Structure 1
């Protein structure tokens, strides 16, 4: 059993409901308009970001430290030397694309450490290729570590 509202109560409900809808619409419109507005909390954010751009990753030159490479190993050594260059390029791209991410050890843990691991594997493959037909070079692992230069 529903009870009918008197006429004046129906108008009041309609008026209040309409006012709420107008207020809500205004808030949505204002929020949408402000969504694309850049924050003005600190005008130096862009300047600080540009000033904090990382340097580049530099690694020791492996090719210049190799002994004479037998002809039978030359192609494999060349492929792995090219892979070392690719690894550095990829690490530098990652360095640029992750500016401002992570904590104080982010570059070491996320970029330089994994790069060193890849380089150790690659220089070991070079040493193995040479060692198949000549004396296997030692100490190439010392050329795996890279640094960030600013």
Structure 2
């Protein structure tokens, strides 16, 4: 099996796609990329919900383009090191949640569970959607499902 091509981190698009280099982790790049998204979440969480939501929507839309460009530059669809989708998925999972350590940890774990296990419709989207949209959509849906679980837990007394 040939080695995957390495990104050119001097290219701002590939730098973002690879989560500022976090996607280059030799083991579990998706998990490492999700960890790398946490400091950005903490900065964003102090903003109003409108600003936070706007950043996340913009990051998701631009992410389709970023992931598509990086994937084409490397000639690998959904290179495992492309983790911008994990950044956005985590930010979606933590939408309107308390920025407290327990909730952030729960959001991280629930998002990673959905992203790794890929229950329907996440797995179906992962197998059938292509291009930058395909790279992003399964993590967006994993984030939405995780967000729903977290809000149910928050609403019904887990916090």
- TM-score between the two structures when normalised by the length of structure 2: 0.29
Which has the larger Rg?
1
More helix by share: 2
Q: Bigger relative contact order, structure 1 or 2, given CA contacts below 8 A and separation 6+?
A: 1
